Amino acid sequence: MEINNRPETLGLVIPTYGRTSELNQLLESIWNQPNIPEKIVVIDQNKYGFLDQVIIRWSNKLLIEHRRVTFKSASKARNLGAKLLQTDIIAFPDDDCIFVNDTVGKIKDAFHINPLADIIIGQKRRLPSSRHGGDNKAHVKTIKNILDVFNSKAETSNIFCKRSSLSRISMIFDETIGPGDHTIISNEETDFLIRMFRTNAILITYPGILIDHHSSQVSYLRSLKYGEGRFELIRRQQLGIFYYLLNLLQPLFRLARKPSLQGLIYCIATMIGRSGITRVIPPIMTDHQKSRQK
């Protein structure tokens, strides 16, 4: 393949709501990269003026397009931002993640080494010893089935897309799910990857590309809601009983590796969400209440 056909430019879409210090840290980590993105689109879901100081500080250093919107939807914000970019590669970092070492350079290198790849999936940094990452060619794996999609542990922050490949699907992120004014607040990235995989897109995992992003699961209720998101993903994508049971029981295996009382409570909350009970009971109760009123 001609080198001129290889992706050369990177654009970032950052949806943000209610955070200034975290967004400031993200932009600082990007500025400190040996290579910086060609463009950054910040989709501001806050009240007017909330981000002014952050945007003013970094607009003189980074090419930032600041768009303020009135909706509250991370998925809708990412889709809007993608439409505003003309770069070869598009990434969707959360506003509370951090780019480590030469993240930007490694993303571009990965597409150079794998010019046929449509999507490259990086890795969340887990240990301080991995701060500088490893060889970003190590343990590269092509996604061959939907189980591989789940095992990739992809997050929106570590998904890097060839822009020309995104036309394979009508909508990048499903705007009815994800953080924001939705009842389903999670699994929008897995939904996106499964839909892309079903178009025969080439997806690969690249552990050498590291993003620092702490888990958002900070409460039992959030574990429950994230579990509900996984149930709805399996239902909507019609993945069947195998994936339903696998995802339902997976928290037990995780608990067995690191048993604790707190872990048990998180496990129960996640399993209740993944079972779908909380998604099914409310309609049944409503119908029952209606019948009693007749």
What pLDDT digit, counting tens, does each position of 50-75 carry? 999 999 999 999 999 999 999 999 99
Q: How far is the C-alpha of 171 from the C-alpha of 274, rounded, in Å?
A: 25
Q: Summarize pLDDT for 200-258 with one digit per residue, the tens.
A: 999 999 999 999 997 654 799 999 999 999 999 999 999 999 999 999 999 999 999 99
Same domain, yes or no: 224 and 174: no
Q: How far is the C-alpha of 244 from the C-alpha of 274, rounded, in Å?
A: 8
Tokens at 42, concatenated: 């910040």
Same domain, yes or no: 124 and 177: yes
Q: Which helix (H) or strand (E) holds 43?
A: strand 39-44
Same domain, yes or no: 189 and 227: no
Q: How far is the C-alpha of 129 from the C-alpha of 139, rounded, in Å?
A: 18
Same domain, yes or no: 113 and 247: no
**Domain boundary residue among 212, 230, 265?**
212
Q: Summarize pLDDT for 137-152 with one digit per residue, the tens.
A: 458 999 999 999 999 9
Tokens at 277, concatenated: 């009970």
Cβ neighbourhood burial of 172 (10 Å; 0-12, 13-18, 19+): buried
**Domain boundary residue among 178, 194, 212?**
212
pTM for this model (two decimals)? 0.89
Q: How far is the C-alpha of 175 from the C-alpha of 155, rounded, in Å?
A: 16
Residue the block writes with tokens 């009970």 = 277
**Domain boundary residue among 191, 212, 233?**
212
How many CB atoms are located within 10 Å of the residue 249 CB? Answer: 12
Structural domains of the chain, count: 2
Q: How would DSSP label each residue in 103-135?
A: HHHHHHHHHHH-TT-SEEEEEE--SGGGTT---
Name the residue among 210, 212, 25, 15 with its Cα closest to residue 104: 210
Q: How far is the C-alpha of 122 from the C-alpha of 97, rounded, in Å?
A: 13
Amino acid 157 reads: S
Same domain, yes or no: 120 and 152: yes
Same domain, yes or no: 251 and 149: no
Same domain, yes or no: 170 and 59: yes
Give the pLDDT confidence score for residue 281 in this predicted structure.
76
Instruction: Among 51-65, 116-130, 138-152, 280-294, name the one with the lowest average pLDDT.
Output: 280-294
Domain span at residue 236?
A: 220-293
Percent of the chain with pLDDT over 90: 84
Same domain, yes or no: 156 and 276: no
